[in-house]
Structure 1
């Protein structure tokens, strides 16, 4: 069958139309099954969110550190000073309203002050010059030092802990003693106040060196704000 000129013209027009349609399809972005172009764009934005601005930095530093101590003969005061120097910490001395004399501290004398207080627990509520620490709420870590009296913390320390709220604070007891160990002294103080996170603590001999104290402090990995 011969093809007429009109049919050839129509055939050329149809061929050109199909070529333009295929070119247009090739320029369109591919789509995932069941997704429209708008849905794809939205999903892409969710997968790669824009970076946030103004996000506050995390503060990894600990708060301020305080070293509280009662020292009857100066040994505990020395250790407290070593700790404070190592950490750049503040100190607070527990001072009885009626100071203990050397005669008061003679535990071998049944009539001495400490002996009478030991025999009569009602006398162990020792009045202090002050139990109030300035800016107490600023301290996150509190060391509490004391000599050991009859296997427990010297009673002026109990008067201090019952007067303060240790909620939210890490408390680290330490003691000085020529022979007795820390024992349950820290645990008993924790029970007395009923607040705070009390750690195990450490006992030091009366003549402990600064280097030994600093070694212990460093093992605690405490960073104090200045």
Structure 2
């Protein structure tokens, strides 16, 4: 898309007005079945952010269930599948805030999202994860993973419920997922952005 084509003028060494108080926002997301994409598009509509879709170098099946062995292997072994369309470091450097969206796959973010995050210096940037999922039982596991791969970033929420057993990503129904705020789906995005203070 042409969402990055508007020139940014000088290299930012001057005191040019930023379009919004919080600086530039990027919504980076991976979506297999458009659920995450729908939330990402809502965030863009409501915040004026730029959007970027993370693509796997080796695409997943249209129905992720057909790829579940690969996905489980990547999640359980903490692998880093390649990203087909990594952005330049300079481009990522322009953003102060990055929303990062993913489905919950085998109790983790899609690992290609971790590949993307680890490709950049995200020190002091605000990282706001959002997940789409059928069940919330692994939400904390997935959030913890994003925080772990972005250790020098600021996060919203600032803290997560204590991970009762960080080495165990396979036992369902542990009580440490309650209280993590998520949009849930596209329809819940606006209220969620208000709650986290991203829109008035």
Q: Specify if TM > 0.5.
A: yes
Candidates 67, 83, 93, aligned match of 1:128: 83
In 2, Cα distance between the equivalents of 1:187 and 1:68? 18
- Counterpart of 2:192? 216
Q: Which has the larger radius of gyration?
A: 1
- 1:192 and 2:149 are equivalent in the alignment: yes
SS of equivalent to 1:214: helix
Find 1:113's aligned residue among 70, 77, 81.
70
* Aligned positions of 1:1-226 closer than 5 A: 61-102=21-62, 105-106=65-66, 112-118=69-75, 121=77, 124-133=79-88, 135-181=91-137, 182-200=139-157, 202-205=181-184, 208-210=185-187, 212-222=188-198
Change (3 A) 1:137 1:117: closer
1:145–1:173 CA contact under 8 A, matched in 2: yes
Higher helix fraction: Structure 1 or Structure 2? 1
Compared CA separation, residues 198 and 97, structure 1 to 2 (3 A) = same
SS in 1 for 2:66: coil
**Pairwise CA distance, 1:73:** 1.0
Deviation at 1:173, TM superposition (A): 0.4
Tell me the residue number matched to 1:33.
Answer: none
CA RMSD of aligned residues (A): 2.7
Length-normalised TM-score, structure 1: 0.62
Runs of at least 5 residues in structure 1 that lack an aligned partner in the other structure: 1-55
Contact 2:28 2:51 in 1 (8 A): yes
Give the length in aligned residue pairs: 160
SS across alignment from 1:175: strand
Give the distance between the partners of 1:104 and 1:218, measured in 2 at CA: 32
1:170 deviates by: 0.8
* Cα separation, 1, equivalents of 2:66 and 2:47: 34
